Amino acid sequence: MTDKTDPQSIAGKQDFPVGGGECGRLIRKYDWSQTRLGPISKWPQWMRTSVDICLQAPIAIVMLFGPEGVLVYNDAYAAFAGQRHPKLMGMKVLEAWPEAADLNRQVLETCYVNGETLSLKEQPLILFRYNNAADELWLDLDYSPILDETGKPGGVLAIVVETTDKVNVQRTLLAERVAVMEANKRLSAESVFLRDLFEQAPSFMAIMSGPAHVFVLANKSYQHLIGGRNVVGLTIRDALPEVVDQGFVDLLDKVLKTGKPHIGTGTRVMLDQTVGGAAGERFLDFIYQPIRNSDGMVSGIFCEGQDVTERTRGEQHLRLVVNELNHRVKNTLAMIQAVAAQTFRNANDLPQAQAAFSARILALARANDLLTGENWEGASLSDIVAGVSVAHAGNQPDRFTAKGPVVRLSPKAALSLSMAMHELATNAVKYGALSNDAGRVDVIWGVKDGRMRIEWRESGGPPVTAPGRRGFGSRLVERGLAGEMGGKADITFEPSGVVCIIDAPTDLYEGGEQ
C-alpha cells in the first residue's frame, strides 16, 4: 500500500479544485501563497468543501475567507463582477470593492466576527464594473458564516442576486402607477370642474334619458326656472306635469325618434313656480339636442337654453308702443284734418282763419305734450286749465285763476277739454274779459253726487253782447265737449261776461269706461 500512492488523493491535491470552469482554472493556477490563505495545497478541508460547493453552484457566490475576507468566487459571480474580474480573485474584500467598503465592513463584522447571517433585499449599490463607469444596481445579498473544523467562522459565504432589472421594472411600474394616479386626479379635477361649470352655468341645462325622458341632471338655472323643484330621477310627466299639455313631451318624443334637434325661440311656457303652485308665464330660447350613444342610437336629450321672458316682454311692450304711436299719429292727422275743415269752412277772412287754425293746432300740440308727459294715461283738470292760462294770460297770471279738487281725465276727455278751453280763452282775449286791462277769468270746478261741474266765468271785461251766429268755438263747446263728456255744456253771454257751465257724470270722464 505504501508504494502505491492513492492516485485520487494526489490528483485531488494537485487538481483542486476539480472543474469549476474559468474560475476553477484561475483558482488552480493562482499563487495563493501570496495571500493570508497560504498555498492551496495547505487549505483545510472545510475551505476546500466550501470552494467546491461554490464552484459547482449556478448562482453567483463569493466567499470571503479569513478576517480580511480574501475573495474566492465562481463563474456566475465573475460575470456579475464584469471587468473587475479576474483581478478580484484573491483580493481582500475591502480593497477589492472600495466603493462598497462600508457594506463589506458590516458583513465581516456581522458574519465573520459575530457568526450571524445578514440578508439584504434590494440593496442599492453603485459599482464601477465596466470602463470605470458608475453603475447603479440593485442586489439581493445573503451572507452566512462558513464554519471551520472548530465550529468558528472561518469565512463568509455570499450569494449575490442582481435584481436591477426587476427593480427597474418595479420602478417603471411604480412610475406608471403614479402617472395613472395623477391622470386620474387630473380627470377627476376636470370632471369636478365640468360639473361645477354645468351646475353654475347661467343658461339652464338638463339631461333626460330614455323614452320616458327621465331627468339625469338638472343644473341650478334649470331648477330656478321650474320653481326650485327637484326633478332628478323623475320622468318629465311626473316632474313637470304642467308641460305635458303644452306639447313639450311630444317635442321630446319627436327629437328622440328623429334624432333631429329642436330649437325654440321665444317659446311661451307656463311653469308652476312651486309644487302644485300657481303657473307663471315664461318665454324661452332653448334647444333639445339628441344625445347619441356609441352605437349611434339616440339615448337621451340635452336641454339647454335661456329665460328670455324679460326681453320678450320688452319686445312685446315695444311693439305695443309702436302700434299705439302709429295709431296716434294717424289719429292726430285726422284731427288736424277736422280742425282745418271746420276752421276754413265758413271763413270770410282768410288771414284770420289761418291765424285761428295755427292757434288751434298749437292748442292740440300743447294737449299732446301734456298727455305725453303723463305717458298717455290721462291728465289732471288743473294741469289742463294751467296750460290754457299760460298760453292766453301768461304774463298776467293773477287775471286767470283756477280752483278745484284733483280730477283725473281720460286722454280723450283731456284733449277735448283742452281744445274747448282754447276756444273760450281765444274768445276772451279777442272780445271778452282778457281783451281789456281789468277783466279776469275764474275757472272753478267741483265734484258732487257723481257729477262734475266746471264753471268758466269772465268778469270785468267790456259789456258783452251775444253774437248773431254761433261760431266754431261755441259749437265745439256746446256740442262737441258735451258729447265728449257725456253731459251738458252751456255758454251764456251775460252782460258782465261770458259764462260757460259744463256738467257731466264722473263715470264717463274718469276713464272708468275704458
Backbone phi and psi for residue 422, each to the nearest 5 degrees, phi listed first: -60, -45
Amino acid at site 96: A
Cβ nearer to other proteins, comparing 180 with 338:
338
- Taking the C-alpha atoms of residue 14 and residue 295, their distance in angstroms, rounded to an integer, is 82
Residue 282 CB burial class (10 angstroms; 0-12, 13-18, ≥19): middle
Q: Could you tell me which of 224, 227, 203, 199 has the C-alpha nearest to residue 306?
A: 203
Contact call for residue 337 and other proteins (CB under 8 A): yes
According to CB under 8 A, which one of 331, 352, 358, 436 is a site residue for other proteins?
A: 331
In whole angstroms, the minimum distance from the beta carbon of 205 to other proteins comes to 42
In whole angstroms, the minimum distance from the beta carbon of 413 to other proteins comes to 9
Cβ nearer to other proteins, comparing 263 with 334:
334
- Taking the C-alpha atoms of residue 254 and residue 301, their distance in angstroms, rounded to an integer, is 11
How far, in whole angstroms, is CA 107 from its chain's centroid? 66
- Do 410 and 510 contact (CB within 8 A), yes or no? yes
Amino acid at site 341: A
> How does DSSP assign 366-435, residue by residue?
HHHHHHHHTTTS-EEHHHHHHHHHHHHHTT-GGGEEEE----EE-HHHHHHHHHHHHHHHHHHHHTSTTS
Binding mask 400-419 for other proteins (x = CB under 8 A): ----------x-x--xx--x
Grid cell digits, residue 480:
262737441
Contact call for residue 450 and other proteins (CB under 8 A): no
Contact call for residue 353 and other proteins (CB under 8 A): no
Contact call for residue 191 and other proteins (CB under 8 A): no
| Contact range with other proteins by CB under 8 A, out of 236-244, 379-387, 433-441, 479-487 | 479-487
Cβ nearer to other proteins, comparing 50 with 426:
426
Size of site (CB under 8 A) for other proteins: 31
In whole angstroms, the minimum distance from the beta carbon of 316 to other proteins comes to 16
In whole angstroms, the minimum distance from the beta carbon of 466 to other proteins comes to 21
- Taking the C-alpha atoms of residue 156 and residue 114, their distance in angstroms, rounded to an integer, is 11
Contact call for residue 327 and other proteins (CB under 8 A): yes
- Do 167 and 177 contact (CB within 8 A), yes or no? no
- Taking the C-alpha atoms of residue 428 and residue 442, their distance in angstroms, rounded to an integer, is 12
According to CB under 8 A, which one of 134, 278, 341, 350 is a site residue for other proteins?
A: 341
Contact call for residue 4 and other proteins (CB under 8 A): no
| Contact range with other proteins by CB under 8 A, out of 15-23, 190-198, 428-436, 473-481 | 473-481
Contact call for residue 333 and other proteins (CB under 8 A): yes
Contact call for residue 362 and other proteins (CB under 8 A): no
Contact call for residue 335 and other proteins (CB under 8 A): yes
Cβ nearer to other proteins, comparing 301 with 415:
415
Grid cell digits, residue 299:
339615448
- Do 128 and 134 contact (CB within 8 A), yes or no? yes
In whole angstroms, the minimum distance from the beta carbon of 415 to other proteins comes to 8
Cβ nearer to other proteins, comparing 57 with 508:
508
Contact call for residue 149 and other proteins (CB under 8 A): no
Residues that bind other proteins (CB under 8 A): 323-324, 326-327, 330-331, 333-335, 337-339, 341-342, 345, 410, 412, 415-416, 419, 475-476, 479-481, 483-484, 486, 508, 513-514
